[in-house]
Amino acid sequence: MKLHRHFLCVLCASAFSLLLLSSGSCATERTEIFPARAMVTGAATQPAREFHLHLNGIGGFRDIDRELIGGLRDGGYHGHITAYDWTGRDVGLAALTVKRRHAEQAKKVAEMLLAELSAHPTSRITITAHSAGAGIITWALEQLPDGAMVDSIVMLAPALSPTYDLSRALRHVRGNVYVFFSPHDATVLGLGTRMLGTVDGKKVDASGRVGFKRPPRGDETLYMKLIPVPYRTAWAKLGNIGDHIGALERRFVAMVLAPVLLRGELPAEPGEDPLMAPPAPATAPIAGAKPPPAPARPDPMP
């Protein structure tokens, strides 16, 4: 039994490593800037500055991250976009496990946010964080001084453990944190994190597969900002099949994520109301609820 488990662990680690070696990521941290687009408006004054930060997963900044940025543009986001690759020379499994890098990069991201707030105090700041990037932004927010706020965050397949206490991070979010999770993310955030650990070092199914659950000491009021967004099978038509990278697909981002960031509105399915306000304070799935059937193709690895 131990030998079988060891074999599976090696197999999983090898699959991660082979895929990440082919990603072409660079050896140092990298920042890509996508300047704001000019807007034609009849208003006498220019609209307030909008700033968006994207943090990738352990595979580094890849084509799928460019898809997300393209989808935001397609969906009507015209503000400044900064994509920050925090993985550097630790790209791959090392980015998941090297705690020193997590601390260093969280500090750098906190400094980026403070620099934006210092230069543009009224800037509207939104953030997308994929997989382990959700850990980096969480730890960055925890380091912000009192009163420093971002507006809204979208976590895509977060690789944090489900009961990680988000209270300190949520204190620095003016609006909501939307958590997109899928029970079909079984290879990476199920088997992978059970064997190799989440970004915060827990060998469990990650929150990007099962949702967050408020821990006993979590602040119930702050957790009201956390909005769970479980996978919908209808999203497969937009390229999101519920796997680890499905939520970064360009059509899905344009049709679903962009409205969330721009208006705090999750487009409704027929017969549903748009998601405009937080539901229950914890984002764990409803007890006894059955997940939708998985789409008919395997999960790609990150």
* Predicted confidence (pLDDT) per residue in 250-290, tens digit: 999 999 999 999 999 887 765 555 554 334 344 444 333 34
* Separation of alpha carbons 173 and 16, rounded Å: 33
In one-letter notation, the amino acid at residue 153 is I
What span, in angstroms and rounded, lies between the C-alpha atoms of 244 and 241?
9
pLDDT given at position 47:
62
Task: Sort 134 into a burial class: Cβ within 10 Å, 0-12 / 13-18 / 19+.
Answer: buried
The pLDDT tens digits for 189-222 are 999 999 999 999 999 999 999 999 999 999 999 9
Pick the CATH number of 2-36+47-263 from 1.10.510.10, 3.30.1390.10, 3.40.50.1820, 3.40.50.920: 3.40.50.1820
Report domain extents, the chain. Answer: 2-36+47-263
Cβ–Cβ < 8 Å for 113, 140? yes
User: Which residues pair with residue 179 across a beta bridge?
Assistant: 155, 228
DSSP assignment string, 35-93: PPPP-----SSPPPPEEEEEE--TT-S-HHHHHHHHHHHHTT--SEEEEEE--GGGTTH
Q: What one-letter code names the amino acid at 157?
A: A
User: How far is residue 40's CA from residue 57's CA, in Å, rounded to a whole number?
Assistant: 35
Higher pLDDT, 240 or 12: 240
- Reported pTM: 0.81
Q: Are 238 and 49 in contact (CB under 8 A)?
A: no
Could you give the CA distance from residue 200 to residue 197 in angstroms, rounded to a whole number?
Answer: 8
